[in-house]
């Protein structure tokens, strides 16, 4: 299987499964090709802890738009007659100077992708200006639907090779990376002519935006949601080599995240080579880009080691916009530091939940006591903790997740209390923080988790089984193991993802066997799962 078939196929099946389950035909598109599965990407977020969103299946247009785009990504084609008639109509309006009327025609729905692609094929300056004015326009309140429209727009502008639109697109990156499908959107920007120049730009604002987008695209390479062919087409190995050979400013959080992604990619070189064993042309092209990355490995490692010292010092004095980038980078590097304590204690600090997540990596007793103390304030023993307005939902979720690294009796007691509460969201996160340390009260922990494994909510049941598996429960381990033995790629992918997310190192041998599977996709997914597990065990710089 070639690179396109392997990596694009894994991306599409993930999207199909996560968004809507089964597929169906959609208007405007030719019959699609079959798809396969992959390890679901973890979406980068400036909050790190995702607040649950309403189920989107109740909206009618969003599922149709999503299915339409998934079919297009699989190789489906927009109806030629529909595209030509739309081009003719919009071209006539543009020739008559009616750009405002053309913009008014660009509305949410199945016709949007046809209209923006028609404008891209028209290719005039007027058509380009119409498209560019849509960059900041929000067509839907549904995040998934809006994400598809954002991708459509970026794709059309890229097809026009409209370099002058790239800075405007990059400016929206600070919010776009928190939206669904951010890896696909980032891939469109990385493919723009001139993107590499933006990464290396002396304009610090543009360079920051470009490096943010680059890190998201690099994550997509690892997760299989962005084809590695883009690494070749955009010559990203060369771009990153130039970035680190020009002695970038020390302590820049976005540059540090680029450096971290370089090291992660280099650890996966052999996996990619094995996946492309039957495609020598692509293998050779990718190998050239990987050699560029290998030439800067020492630079990247040195930069990150220095960043571990510089970033905590810069945090208190940085501007608010830079602080969140510093926090995200510290979290990626597992850097807990005393400079975080004043931030988590400030109830008005806008990035408090991110700071809490970072502080989880601190190993000193003071940081542990601060986190446990805040958690007890956020979840008081008596009364409705929802009425404690000193903590947002994100704050509470961040605290619960942070406690998994601090296995004290008081933290365990609090988590057990939350598991028995009436709120399913907080119950879920409390369950996910149990079982990472030897329990101080084994009977209470195991009994509570066994009861939770019978919960009416499927996600809570699954995470309770995973927590029992973390503690070595044989029946729970076997239940998770069975998900790897089925013929369904989707079930195997979900099983691998559960093992990664829940730190089930007991099942490392099972993943290791799958890494040598005859099916190249299963082997690729298992190797990625093993790499993520390795980083979880040894740290990002090991």
Helix, strand or coil, per DSSP, at residue 78:
strand
Distance separating alpha carbons of residues 460 and 523, to the nearest angstrom: 29
Q: What does the pLDDT read at residue 46?
A: 60
Distance separating alpha carbons of residues 421 and 38, to the nearest angstrom: 34
Residues of the chain with pLDDT under 50: 1-44, 50-60
Q: Do 179 and 150 contact (CB within 8 A), yes or no? A: yes
Q: What is the pLDDT of residues 168-199, one digit of tens each?
A: 999 988 888 888 999 999 999 999 999 999 99
**Tokens matching residue 129:** 């200006």
**Tokens matching residue 424:** 């399913």
Q: What does the pLDDT read at residue 28?
A: 32
| Residue whose C-alpha is closest to residue 429's, from 19, 54, 50 | 50
Global pTM value: 0.86
- H helical segments located in 35-179: 61-73, 80-95, 99-105, 111-122, 125-132, 143-159, 166-171, 173-176
How many other C-beta atoms lie within 10 A of the C-beta of residue 511?
A: 23
**Tokens matching residue 148:** 């598809």
Distance separating alpha carbons of residues 35 and 335, to the nearest angstrom: 39
| Residue whose C-alpha is closest to residue 3's, from 535, 525, 521 | 521
* Domain at 343-538: CATH code: 1.25.10
Q: Do 211 and 258 contact (CB within 8 A), yes or no? A: yes
- H helical segments located in 172-296: 173-176, 182-190, 195-199, 204-223, 229-233, 236-245, 253-267, 269-275, 280-294
| Residue whose C-alpha is closest to residue 221's, from 210, 205, 233, 206 | 233
12: exposed, middle or buried (Cβ count in 10 Å: 0-12, 13-18, 19+): buried
Residues in a beta bridge with 78? 29
Q: What does the pLDDT read at residue 1?
A: 40
CA atoms within 13 A on the CB side of 396: 25
CA dist 237 to 201, 241, 244, 288, 382, Å?
Answer: 17, 6, 11, 8, 56
Q: 370-375 long-range contacts, Cβ below 8 Å, gap at least 24?
A: 370/341, 370/344, 370/345, 371/344, 371/399, 371/402, 371/403, 371/406, 372/403, 372/406, 372/408, 372/410, 372/411, 372/414, 374/344, 374/345, 374/399, 375/399, 375/400, 375/403, 375/411, 375/414
Q: Where are the domains of the chain?
A: 343-538
């Amino acid at each position: 299987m070639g690179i396109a078939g392997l990596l694009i196929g894994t991306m599409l099946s993930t999207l199909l499964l996560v968004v809507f389950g089964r597929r169906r035909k959609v208007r405007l598109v030719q019959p699609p090709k079959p798809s396969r599965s992959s390890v679901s990407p973890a979406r980068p977020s400036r909050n790190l802890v995702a607040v649950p969103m309403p189920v989107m299946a109740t909206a009618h247009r969003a599922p149709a738009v999503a299915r339409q785009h998934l079919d297009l990504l699989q190789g489906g084609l927009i109806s030629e007659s529909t595209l030509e008639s739309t081009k003719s109509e919009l071209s006539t309006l543009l020739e008559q100077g009616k750009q405002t009327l053309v913009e008014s025609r660009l509305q949410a729905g199945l016709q949007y992708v046809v209209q923006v692609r028609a404008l891209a094929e028209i290719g005039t300056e007027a058509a380009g200006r119409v498209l560019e004015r849509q960059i900041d326009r929000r067509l839907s309140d549904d995040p998934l639907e809006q994400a598809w429209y954002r991708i459509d727009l970026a794709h059309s502008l890229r097809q026009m090779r409209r370099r002058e639109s790239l800075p405007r697109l990059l400016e929206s990156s600070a919010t776009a990376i928190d939206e669904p499908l951010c890896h696909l959107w980032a891939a469109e920007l990385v493919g723009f002519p001139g993107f590499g120049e933006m990464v290396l730009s002396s304009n610090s604002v543009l360079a920051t935006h470009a490096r943010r987008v680059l890190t998201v695209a690099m994550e997509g390479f690892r997760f299989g949601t962005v084809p590695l062919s883009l690494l070749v087409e955009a010559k990203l190995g060369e771009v990153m080599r130039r970035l680190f050979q020009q002695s970038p400013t020390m302590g820049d959080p976005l540059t540090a995240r680029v450096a971290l992604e370089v090291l992660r990619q280099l650890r996966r070189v052999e996996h990619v080579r094995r996946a492309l064993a039957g495609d020598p042309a692509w293998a050779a092209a990718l190998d050239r880009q990987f050699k560029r990355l290998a030439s800067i490995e020492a630079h990247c490692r040195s930069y990150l080691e220095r960043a571990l010292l510089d970033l905590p010092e810069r945090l208190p004095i940085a501007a608010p916009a830079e602080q969140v980038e510093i926090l995200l980078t510290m979290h990626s590097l597992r850097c807990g530091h005393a400079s975080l304590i004043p931030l988590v204690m400030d109830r008005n600090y806008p990035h408090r939940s991110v700071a809490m997540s970072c502080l989880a990596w601190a190993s000193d007793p003071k940081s542990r006591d601060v986190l446990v103390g805040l958690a007890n304030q956020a979840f008081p023993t008596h009364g409705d903790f929802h009425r404690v307005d000193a903590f947002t939902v994100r704050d509470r979720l961040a605290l619960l997740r942070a406690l998994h690294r601090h296995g004290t009796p008081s933290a365990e007691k609090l988590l057990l209390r939350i598991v028995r509460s009436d709120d399913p969201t907080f119950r879920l996160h409390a369950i996910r923080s149990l079982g990472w340390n030897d329990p101080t009260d084994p009977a209470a922990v195991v009994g509570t988790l066994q009861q939770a494994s019978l919960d009416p909510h499927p996600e809570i049941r699954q995470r309770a089984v995973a927590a029992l598996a973390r503690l070595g429960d044989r029946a729970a381990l076997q239940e998770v193991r069975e998900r790897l033995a089925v013929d369904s790629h989707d079930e195997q992918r979900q099983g691998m993802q559960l093992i990664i997310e829940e730190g089930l190192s007991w099942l490392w041998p099972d993943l290791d066997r799958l890494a040598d599977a005859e099916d190249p996709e299963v082997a690729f997914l298992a190797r990625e799962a093993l790499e993520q597990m390795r980083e979880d065990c040894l740290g990002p710089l090991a």
